[in-house]
Structure 1
Amino acid sequence: MPSRTVNRQYPAYRDDIGDLLTRRPVPGPAIDQVDPFLFLNHHGPQEYRPNNQGLPFGPHPHRGFETVTFILAGELAHRDSGGHESVIGAGGVQWMTAGSGLIHAELSPESFKRRGGPLEILQLWVNLPARLKMTQPAYTGLQREQIPAISADDGRATVNLVSGQFDGQVGPIESLTGVAMMTVTMNAGSRVTLPAPAGRAVFLYIVAGELDVDETAVKPWHLVEMNDDGDDVALVARSEAVVLFGHAEPLREPVVSHGPFVMNTHEEIQQAIEDYQSGRLGAVSL
């Protein structure tokens, strides 16, 4: 089959959180989701001064989906009510299955608040099917060196493979639903062809730089919607570029969301709120 073609581009809109620069391409005014990809926040890039307050994401609940957090620059400390705790540095990834529900906090470690430095983070929400909404919560934190960095185009591009397969290698995360996720860094003029099996939803966000996607020019800070008319995605970098790329089977199920909860019915949302308010999702001590 040929490479997939571009259907439409969606610009990320600014939605800063305090002094944290934030762009959000999905959900947006013209797109609700890329089933099963629900939500993406792009924080930064920005520079934090020494003796800063760090990130503002104190303890909060989730149920019914997974969060995949890419630390492109800086550091991110994670702690949750399931007993998981880590500090992940630049190039690392945090993959959390909220499932039946937990409380977690995502904060800057004391060392980062003390000395400051660059920060850029992507957080993606991936929906879970009804059969897995109440699965056991789980968490995996990966440092840069635990993620395969696969050279492409004679070393002019690198695919950082978190889950799924690329060029005969398998990512360290085994997704519950077969989601493939990776980041791609490209030098100007480099070419990469990424797998996108027919029938699967493709998630393509341009973190930085300008590219051609199957000969269509795409812009930085845009989500690119692909047609299901091929089995790969062909990228050519016009400048140095960074891309977030994934693919997954669409769930084609009802989505009912309320803040940090994503379920299939309003009744399940109400139950999640009650469980949180009653303390059944646990607690996080900072």
Structure 2
Amino acid sequence: MRTIQTVIKPQGQQLGPLTMHQPLPANGVDQLDPFLLLHHHGPTRFPARNSGLPFGPHPHRGFETVTFIYQGDVQHRDSSGFASTIETGGIQWMTTGSGLVHSESSSEAFKETGGMVELIQLWTNLPGRLKMVKPHYVGLQKNDIPAVTLADGKGTVAVTSGVWNGVAGPVQPVYDVELANVSLLAGGSFTRRIEASRTVLFYLLNGAIVVNGQKISGRSLVIFENDGDEIDVRATDESRILLGSAQPINEPVVSHGPFVMNTEQEIRQAISDYQSGRMGHLS
């Protein structure tokens, strides 16, 4: 089994109407190559006649963003012409590539009625050879994402990308990133084999588990060494886990706000391209 290096317990902070927890990056952990950033928003109740999510138009270049909608909905628009409203249980996977401007808001129906919101926003890096690919967006509803029932019948796995027990996820990222959401009942368990060379992303949203012999509870990012290929999980309470893996890119990471490149010159070019409108516009 892989050795647990450390466990990060993020502190909450307010981001507009949302409470946001950021386990990545954290003190002493800039990234889990190629995973750059993880924001866990909510759960937060929005009242009726609310103003929706606070993510207005902003640019990106050089990486991929993945949004998991656990509660509520997210209305996506971007300067490449992609648009969709994804509801509870769905995902949005955007390859920012050479650059675009996008916004994530709530639907008019949600703003009128209100309700619970819970999201995870994840950034995954791209190698230099792929940073300037054409932007692309995939929005999938819950029914578009295959669910695998665990062998003990006490859990399910919603497979976003990669393969789980022979079931392939619907998203084929431009860089090999596997992601799945695991929901466990108390007493549920699974063992997942991940090649020792791959970086593991293991985030416990809620609940209580024993992973590779260590008790973990609440919001927790578990960081593993690359010294084994097995992750063993047993739930002591109803729990949800975002589990992923990817081969490290092992390239320099230079970031400036919404741009993630390999060099300072590339960052300056990204800023210039955005300011001059070469990433498009979104009103």
**Superposition TM-score, scaled by structure 2 size:** 0.98
Aligned to 1:198: 196
Aligned to 1:121: 119
The 2-side partners of 1:44 and 1:242 are apart by: 14
The 2-side partners of 1:139 and 1:200 are apart by: 25
Aligned to 1:130: 128
The 2-side partners of 1:121 and 1:174 are apart by: 21
1:11 pairs, out of 9, 19, 34, with 9
Q: CA deviation at 1:52?
A: 0.7
Change in CA separation of 1:195 and 1:142 when aligned onto 2, cut-off 3 Å? farther
* Paired letter, 2:91: V
Aligned to 1:261: 259
The 1-side partners of 2:196 and 2:23 are apart by: 24
Instruction: Say whether 1:189 aligns with 2:207.
Output: no
2:66 pairs, out of 58, 65, 68, with 68
* Paired letter, 1:92: G
The 1-side partners of 2:101 and 2:42 are apart by: 24
The 2-side partners of 1:73 and 1:232 are apart by: 31
Deviations 1:218-257 (A, max 9, x none): 1221110012222221111111000011000001110000
Aligned to 1:250: 248
SS in 2 for 1:268: helix
The 1-side partners of 2:247 and 2:184 are apart by: 27
The 1-side partners of 2:265 and 2:126 are apart by: 17
The 2-side partners of 1:155 and 1:60 are apart by: 43
SS in 1 for 2:15: coil
The 2-side partners of 1:250 and 1:7 are apart by: 17
The 2-side partners of 1:232 and 1:48 are apart by: 40
Is the Cα contact below 8 Å between 1:5 and 1:213 reproduced in 2? no
Q: CA deviation at 1:50?
A: 0.5
2:83 pairs, out of 82, 85, 94, with 85
Greater mean alpha carbon deviation, residues 221-230 or residues 263-272: 221-230
Aligned to 1:236: 234
Deviations 1:170-201 (A, max 9, x none): 11011211110011000011101223112000
1:271 pairs, out of 249, 261, 269, with 269
* Paired letter, 1:6: I
The 2-side partners of 1:15 and 1:33 are apart by: 20
Is the Cα contact below 8 Å between 2:152 and 2:189 reproduced in 1? no
> Counterparts in 2 of 1:144-155, with a 5 A limit?
144-155=142-153
* Paired letter, 2:78: D
SS in 2 for 1:223: strand
Q: CA deviation at 1:19?
A: 2.0
SS in 2 for 1:275: helix
* Paired letter, 1:253: E
The 2-side partners of 1:207 and 1:195 are apart by: 21
* Paired letter, 2:256: H
Is the Cα contact below 8 Å between 1:166 and 1:195 reproduced in 2? no
SS in 1 for 2:18: coil
SS in 2 for 1:21: strand
The 2-side partners of 1:5 and 1:218 are apart by: 14
Structure 2, unpaired ranges of 5+: none
Structure 1, unpaired ranges of 5+: none
Is the Cα contact below 8 Å between 2:85 and 2:107 reproduced in 1? yes
Aligned to 2:96: 98
Identity rate, percent: 49
- Number of residue pairs matched by the alignment: 283
2:138 pairs, out of 128, 137, 140, with 140
Deviations 1:197-227 (A, max 9, x none): 1200000011111111111111221110012
Is the Cα contact below 8 Å between 2:77 and 2:102 reproduced in 1? yes
